[in-house]
Amino acid sequence: MSHRFRAILAAAAVAVSLIGCAENTVVETRTPSVAASNSSAATEADGIVDSLAHGLAIALGDASIRSLIRNDLRDSPFRLHALHLTSYLNGVRGRAIAAKAAAALRIQPEAFVRIAQSGPDFELVMPRVLDRVSWEGGAELDVTAVTKTLKERIQAGRVYEPGYDLNGNPVSVRTLRYSPRPYIIIRPSEAAFPAETEYVRAAAPQQSRNTVTTPAEERSVMKQRGRQQELRANASVMSAPNTVSFIIPCGEEGADPSCDGGGGPPPPPPTVGGGGVALSAEMTKDYCYGNSPALNGTTDVDNDQIRDSCELAIASRLAPILNIGNNDNRPARQPYWAASRHPDNPDKIQVIYAIAYLADGGDWAFQFTDHEGDSEFIITEVKNVTGSTWGITDVTLSAHFGAEEGVDPLYQSGADSYYWDDLEWPGVPYPRIWASLGKHANYRSNTVCDWGGGGFDDCSGAYVGTQIPALASRNLGNYYNRPVGSRSPSTQLVNCTTWEETPYPAPFYGSYRIGDECFWNTSPDGFAGWHSINYTDAAPYRRILSIYEF
């Protein structure tokens, strides 16, 4: 009898009877004795999820099954396009997956469904934005399953989870770090599913795209997340000095009645923070956008429909203040930037500041997630106020981008967007952004930082803020935002480049030679953090640039 089947039998002890194919006998449900240890229960739970992950992974080796599950994830109307596992497996389309997975484990489909029912209330989800916008149903995919929530796994320091590739081979799946391989996870449901879940899912409109989501959809979600999902701190925290009020979540007293479909009037269009900055007199909207005089290959080298002199002035004069703690253990960085017309509102300009740290120092408490390279970013949205004055309307802040996402705002990963009036403006027309110690996750205030990352992010101690430099020589140019017109497509201005700053000596960054970094290349896949070794623990900037269409 295989060890996989023994795991299934162990799972049966906590919930259901299973039908064995080799012996063709029914294994009765057993009631655990009072003396059963916690470790025994944990082993049984591990057997449940191991069987689920193993069976599903082998089933997904079939291209038709991958296509089916990609489409059903794509069309799911629930958060993160998740599927409620047991409802789905009992539905018409899920039965085909259950049958394939059961065959891989040499059991009956009904037994596989009972395994899924015997654990927590599971959901099946692709939990990273980077995977949802890029996976097209290919065979490069890993599958994992867990019985602990994201919150519990973060608190336990579980950076990796055991899983399987589609050949059924064991693999370690990076869930709290960037992984170059996409993955699907079976996990305890992060949010409540509605009644008649499978009916709601099956009745949802079907899309025609080949990915689970699109960059535009993900940007829209992140745009709403900042206002809707932060928690207010308790009274003792809010009474502390130098803190700001949390945004009131939708549905709570004092929240914007229009948010989250509240039925109230739409919010007013965002204005600008700090009144904006007056650039050179000629830098009006018509001039900067090439309405008069027209742009050409000399005045708009990267072909992003913004005059080069204007985008440099906007990127440098309106760059945010980045607050870095004096006690940060990995502060070295070499920022680059890019500008483009906003893909969702071409009347605005978006600027990304790719901060490009040498390393991530790990969380302040245990440092269990430290790694070379750290591709944090800040995106500002800028509009013309009047004449040659331009100002910031919105800001998007990265925080653990590329890791698994959850529902609890304290355990979010990704990027949240804010209107200008949710940010700190320390007497200047550009906002102050706080970077957590070591991890460098970006937050709109010190208070939000201290509540971020499940409480593992920290902005305590002395902080010094400096405006992010936007040098002409560090303009990455454009690639994904290709304007419609007669001229050639958008142009990368900087791809592979060399570390220019004075590096921190050993032991801060080990003995690795500091080398080149490539922002647009497809290989190496990961952001290598300026080291000569190809690390893949940080999300590659090329994938971030593609989502925001720079």
H or E segment at 323? strand 321-325
Band (pLDDT 50/70/90 cuts) for residue 238 is very low
Return the pLDDT at 517: 81
More confident residue, 7 or 109: 109
- Beta-sheet pairing, 432-435 with 336-341: unpaired
Please write the tens of the pLDDT for every residue from 279-291.
999 999 999 999 9
Q: Which of 343-357, 449-463, 497-511 has the highest mean pLDDT?
A: 343-357
Q: In Å, what is the CA distance from 535 to each residue of 122, 179, 250, 270, 513?
A: 33, 10, 40, 40, 13
Strand order in the sheet with 142-145: 83-84, 122-125, 183-188, 142-145, 160-165, 170-174
- What percent of the chain has a predicted confidence (pLDDT) above 90? 49
What is the model's pLDDT at position 155? 81
Residue 311 has pLDDT above 50, yes or no: yes
Output the pLDDT for position 314: 98
298-305: average pLDDT: 91
402-432: pLDDT as tens digits? 888 887 666 667 788 888 988 999 999 999 9
Reported confidence tier of residue 177, pLDDT bands at 50, 70, 90: confident
Average pLDDT over residues 201-216: 93
29-48 confidence digits (pLDDT tens): 222 333 333 445 455 567 78
User: How does pLDDT run across 426-451, given as a tens digit for each residue?
Assistant: 999 999 999 999 899 999 998 888 87
8 A C-beta contact, residue 5 and residue 12: no
pLDDT at position 151 is 85
Lowest mean pLDDT among 2-11, 192-201, 514-523: 2-11
Question: Would you state the pLDDT for residue 122?
Answer: 95
User: What pLDDT score was predicted for residue 233?
Assistant: 44
**How many residues make up the chain in this entry?**
550
At 371 the pLDDT is: 78
Predicted local distance difference test score (pLDDT) of residue 426: 92
Give the pLDDT band (50/70/90) at residue 535: low
Token pair in block for residue 489: 């497509």
DSSP secondary structure code for residue 274 in this structure:
G
Q: Is a pLDDT exceeding 50 seen at residue 361?
A: yes
Give residue 454's pLDDT.
66
DSSP SS3 for 498: strand
Residue 135, Cβ density class (10 Å: 0-12 exposed, 13-18 middle, ≥19 buried): buried
How do residues 122-147 score in pLDDT, each as one tens digit?
A: 999 999 999 999 999 999 999 999 99
| pLDDT class of 236 with cuts at 50, 70, 90 | very low
User: Is 70 exceeded by the pLDDT of residue 216?
Assistant: yes
Would the pTM of this model clear 0.75, i.e. be above it? yes
Q: Is the pLDDT of residue 169 over 50?
A: yes
- Neighbour-count burial of 473, counting CB atoms closer than 10 A to its CB (0-12 exposed, 13-18 middle, 19+ buried): exposed
Closest CA to 322 of 516, 470, 140, 504: 470
Given this model, what pLDDT does residue 66 score?
97
257 bridge partner residues: none
Chain centre distance of CA 521: 20
Mean pLDDT, range 66-77, rounded to an integer: 96
pLDDT digits (tens, 9 = 90+) for 82-100: 999 999 999 999 999 999 9
Residue 78: its pLDDT value, please? 93
272 residue type, one letter: V
Q: What is the pLDDT of residue 312?
A: 97
Smallest CA-to-CA distance from 434 within 403, 405, 461, 407 is with 461
* pLDDT score recorded for residue 110: 94
pLDDT at 269: 62
pLDDT score of 277: 95
Q: Which two tokens stand for residue 230?
A: 């932060």
Calculate the average pLDDT of the chain: 81
Q: What confidence tier does 222 reach under pLDDT thresholds 50, 70, 90? A: confident
